[in-house]
Amino acid sequence: MSALTRNEAQLRAQLIDVQHYAVTLDLTGGEDTFESTTVIRFTARTAADTFVELKPDELHSAELDGSPLDPADLADNRLALTGLGEGPHELRLATRMRYSRTGEGLHRFTDPADGETYVYTQMFMDDIQRVFPAFDQPDLKAVFEFTVTAPAHWTVLANGITERVGDREGDGAGIWKSAPTPVISTYLAAVAAGPWHSVRTEHAGLPFGIHCRRSLAPHLDADAEEILSVTTACYDRYHEKFSEPYPFDSYDQAFVPEFNAGAMENPGLVTFRDEYVFRSAVTDTQRQRRAMTISHEMAHMWFGDLVTLRWWDDIWLNESFAEYMGYQTVTEATRFTGTWTEFAMDRKPWGYDADQRPSTHPVAPDPDAVPDTASALLNFDGISYAKGASALRQLVAWLGEKDFLAGINTHFTRHKFANASLADLVESLAAHTDRDVHAWAEIWLRTTGIDTLTPRIEESHGGWTLTVDHRGTRPHHIGVGLYDREPDDTLECRELLTVDVPSDEILSFSGPRPALLLLNDGDFGYAKIRLDRSSIDTALRDLSALPGPLTRAVVWNSLRDMVRDGELEPAAYLATAGAHLPAEADLAIVQSVLGFTRHHIADHYLAPEDRTEALATLTSIARALLRRTEDGSDPGLRLSAVRALIDAATQPDTLAAWLEDDTVPGGPELDPELRWRILARLSVLGAVGEREIDAALAADPSATGREGAARCRAALPAAEAKAAAWERLFRDDSLSNYLFSATAQGFWQPEQAELVREYVPRFYTEAIALGARRGPAIAEAAGRYAFPGHAVDEDNLRAGRAALDDPALVPALRRKLVDQLDDLARALRVRSA
């Protein structure tokens, strides 16, 4: 399969304009394939040769301007169009396409709960070619219309409003047509079909709808008011911010099964992973995360859908802006006012970590660094999302929100329904400020790596001075908090300064130095923050006494970075968590610190002989949180504590008793998520077997039940269970993306290192073959979930580095291996330090 190169895309955009796609899909033909017929109207600017892309199971026929083309000329997902004359043309192609089981193209899913089937498209990057032929690049925008024949009891959704226009004679299959879209890019075209359960309303004169599979109907209905409230509140807030109105005819949100991403911004038909339809109890932080995803995808209606990148080097124009706007708008428009703390604790470390790996790249890479679609796919990471959003937050702090929004609105007006680049955006911003936005963009968006800011305090008689040591290249506009210890052992903010770094200025203060001095207080900057020695002592002793969750988040992230850089012992971080989490009020902080402690400190950074003690500390924290929430005052915190206690258990007795009683003493009662979580941990500990897993699956025969059972079976500490799981992972190519990931998650367990030792070197050769065979989605999943990260040793590192030289290694897996091996090397350095 050929990846489209940037040079090829630029040449084709000079040769042709595309006006219209009329796509006809027949979804009634069977479980494996569907029929797809496409008519494309386009214009050649001059006499030219070009090509159209498609990946069919079979190309039945092709006609250009009424003359047949030879289907045998299809080669490497391209059909040549030669001898085009200047002027309008019509291309007609009839194909049979193959359904996907990996979340790419037209994904087909049969719900084990009721036997109903659903299909939905994920056209992103170059997967439209798996559904219908296209001139597949973002700057060849066109109008899309769909005609879909589907089983009689199905509903069809698309980018535009759909209508059932008739029934097919003979079997009563429904024939659906969609309204034509405005001009959009190929990767944004979308269809979703099945017996959806729908909740519909109208807002601002437009139809709004939310949709899920029928088996999730009660859970969607329970949350419909909240989902629609968030949706309409964000919609209204964006119309206050943006001068261009929402540009499409409807707003549907479909929660679809086995979705690879969090969501996809298809105009008029946003698709979400249906884990966002909560079938078990969740914390308010999880609800906040769903709200942010809704807001993020709606921001894309402007950033990406109305104005689209010209080529994939500018993906930050989509993702960084949607990430920033998503968090900011949820904070402004909904009850979720703590989103920036969650960003600090969850998203920002994602960006920090990515920016310190060999695979790092600029937020806005040089176009030559993204030569084709295969390389572009690798840049959807913590840099394009979290670092880019952090850079924008810093830009807003520097420019002021008024000038920032004025520039954004100029950008929309200049480029609506068209394509734009970094240079176009910078010009729009520069029109509304005297600041040098061009220089800012070069420094912040064209460079890699993360700066480090360290305070240097000199005390003298009657006062003290502050300078900020700056290791890096970027300017920073940050807050500096000065905190004093009060007689009641709380910490109070004496003063909050605004400082520009770098600067030769020495700040002088009278009186005693503060107990804690915190750079980047408020978390508007993007840099690693170090504490002076006295402030470290204060933080370790009094962290929970700091006012304001964002302030505490900055300190926690500083300690996290110090552990990763070998400057703070993992045991010290563990002890700090034990001392301060039981009193922490912010759920995002609790969840993030527990997660880092469990999965990084206990499983990777501490020596194996110290792991049991670390898990005991986590258990102690969880029990303290359970005691604190016995009165029912904070069910979300209690749920987080229960989850942490399950995951850290080293003995089965307590968990087995909870499972037997179907409840945690004092609550909560066990729902499906908690039952499967307990069963997974008991499987690791060898306290249950196939019989108990089969019984649990019989009680919960849902899709998540199947995934839970797959995870548990792979986690069983028996040679035959591991062999069977390995066979499913690397031999059974029918395994769906979600069942593959669940099996991989269960396979490697630190407690079972000896049992699975023989599989560690086998992973590399078998994963490389799997990725080449099954494509980028499974390759990425293999690198993410099936990597033997528990084996923190030089043998594993050497085997992995040798695998990077294998010419069969596909880009998606190579990128994951590079990142995983860098994390493995870091864990070894932390242990040795």
Q: How far apart, in whole angstroms, are the C-alpha atoms of residue 475 and residue 121?
A: 43
Burial label, 597 (beta-carbon count in 10 A; 0-12, 13-18, 19+) = buried
Cα dihedral sign, 247-251-255-257: negative
Select from 299, 274, 6, 259 the least CA-distant residue to 124.
Answer: 259
In the residue annotation, 297 being an active-site residue is answered as yes
Contacts of 609 (CB under 8 A, 6+ apart): none
Phi/psi of residue 416, nearest 5 degrees: -60, 140
Dihedral angle over CA of 113, 114, 116, 117, nearest 10: 20
Given a contact cutoff of 8 angstroms between Cβ atoms, the answer to whether 27 and 149 are in contact is: yes
Q: How far apart, in whole angstroms, are the C-alpha atoms of residue 551 and residue 721?
A: 47
Select from 501, 307, 287 the least CA-distant residue to 411.
Answer: 307
Taking the chain, what is the end-to-end CA distance rounded to the nearest angstrom?
46
Select from 496, 497, 490 the least CA-distant residue to 515.
Answer: 490
The neighbouring-strand residues paired with 94 are 37, 61
Contacts of 787 (CB under 8 A, 6+ apart): 763, 767, 816, 817, 820
- Beta strand 251-256 pairing with 206-212: parallel
Q: In what order do the strands lie in the sheet with 33-44?
A: 67-69, 58-64, 87-98, 33-44, 16-26, 143-150, 174-178, 162-167
Q: Of 116, 297, 342, 673, which one is the catalytic site residue?
A: 297
Q: How many helices (H) and strands (E) does the chain have?
A: 27, 28
Q: Which tokens in the block code for residue 822?
A: 């860098």
- Catalytic positions, please? 297
